[in-house]
Amino acid sequence: MYRSAFLSLLLVFAFLFAACVAIPTKSEPAAYTQAVVQDAIRLYNNDGRQAAIDHYSSPDNVDGQWYVFIIDGDGYTIAHFRPELVGRDPALRVDATGYFYGDEILSATEVGKWVSYVFTNPDTGEETLKHTWMVRHDGLFFGSGWYETE
């Protein structure tokens, strides 16, 4: 009897705590982007590498301007909703302004790193400044970003 009451009380506290945790929204693009990447890492941890690659290689992965891409330890893109970018050579990570952002992406750590560069916004089709959150996890790089609006 005491055990069941304790478990019920514990469950109530868990729900209260969960309700107090702020879930970022798209109106907070940086925090939302970090949450998207964390969700991708969670999917990878729970379902495995191939499931993550399959999911993030699909257009179903795109949520407006947000999508996840995965890069292997050698710098090659292994998951992206645009198939022409899968297998992309790391030496080709140069934006429309001539900025080579590939080394910045591959210098991300487990803590994460912001990298900004110009890229095509899937919402508008226009070249726009993109702020990408990259996290190294289990030898892979998980990234997502948001596009600056004027």
Which CATH number do you get for residue 102?
3.30.450.20
Please compute the mean of the pLDDT values over residues 50-77 and round it to a whole number: 95
Residue 120 burial by Cβ neighbours in a 10 Å radius (0-12, 13-18, 19+): middle
pLDDT score of 121: 86
Per-residue model confidence as pLDDT tens digits over 2-24: 555 444 544 444 444 444 456 88
> Residue 20 domain-assigned?
no
| pLDDT classification of 30: cutoffs 50, 70, 90 | very high
Residue 58 and residue 51 in contact, taking contact as beta carbons nearer than 8 Å: no
Q: Is 120 helix (H, G, I), strand (E, B) or coil?
A: strand
Does pTM surpass 0.85? no
For 91, the domain range is 25-147
The CA dihedral of 46, 49, 53, 56, to the nearest 10 degrees, is 30
Domain count, the chain: 1
> Residue 19 domain-assigned?
no
Per-residue model confidence as pLDDT tens digits over 84-107: 999 988 888 999 999 999 999 999
> Residue 2 domain-assigned?
no
> Residue 119 domain-assigned?
yes
